[in-house]
Amino acid sequence: MELSILNKDGKAGKKVKLSDAIYGIEPNDHAIYLDVKQYLANQRQGTSKSKERAEIKGSTRKIKKQKGTGTARAGSIKSPIFRGGGTIFGPRPRNYSFKLNKKLKSLARCSALSYKAKSGDLLVMEDFNMDSPKTSEFSKILSNLKCNDKKTLMVVSESNKNIYLSSRNLQGAKVVIASDVNTYDLVNANKVVVSEAALEKIESILS
């Protein structure tokens, strides 16, 4: 598969050949599902906590006699059936994260990239730099690429503070470096814009 390399004005120049081993594979939906599930699970803090009856502060005195009241037996004011008592099977701090094999995660990213390439939502852009953080300039670039009204993921080869700061205030725009690209961001974006240098780095990582 070949794609034209676009400049900041959105005009096509020379072409680049995409690797069939990454952008031309048969996508594996289950691999994408597992990788996205892991990403979302790893975002969870798992810090929710409620007190059970052993942790409630209160008297341990038997609150009424065992028999003759006409109501159910009750031994403690900390019982979950009373107001202010403990919670039954309440949440406890836990770790939601789980592990996946490297090959499966790599397959998931290749599958997501293949979907974008086949649907025409993958754009290759020539390398560019910004002299200073300028949101309006970055927005103009997205407009030239016809991505300003869509959720756009821009992949650059290395960390660039000016590009990051320029995109930070735009809703729906996200900038990541090639080594940090994950399946969730690829699937979540409507358009994926990859710089020429980042394209080579992605191929070296996933091949």
User: Residue 186 belongs to what domain range?
Assistant: 2-44+102-206
Number of domains in the chain: 1
CATH number of residue 33's parent domain: 3.40.1370.10
Q: How far is CA 107 from CA 46, 54, 81, in A?
A: 28, 48, 51
Q: Identify whether 80 is part of a domain.
A: no
Q: Residues 30-36: contacts with CB within 8 Å, 24+ apart?
A: 31/104, 31/107, 31/108, 31/111, 32/108, 32/111, 32/112, 32/183, 32/187, 34/100, 34/104, 34/108, 35/100, 35/104, 35/105, 35/108, 35/109, 35/182, 35/183, 35/184, 36/108, 36/183, 36/184, 36/187
Domain assignment of residue 71, yes or no: no
Tell me, what's the pLDDT at 11?
A: 86
Q: Is position 113 within any domain?
A: yes
Sign of CA pseudo-dihedral 195, 197, 201, 203: positive
**What are 163-194's pLDDT values in tens digits?**
999 999 998 899 999 999 999 999 999 999 99
Residue 29 resides in a domain: yes
pLDDT at position 139 is 92
In-domain check, residue 56: no
121-170 pLDDT, tens per residue?
A: 999 999 888 889 999 999 999 999 888 888 999 999 888 899 999 999 99
Please check whether residue 145 is in contact with residue 193, taking contact to mean a CB–CB distance below 8 angstroms: yes
Asked if residue 84 is part of any domain, the answer here is no
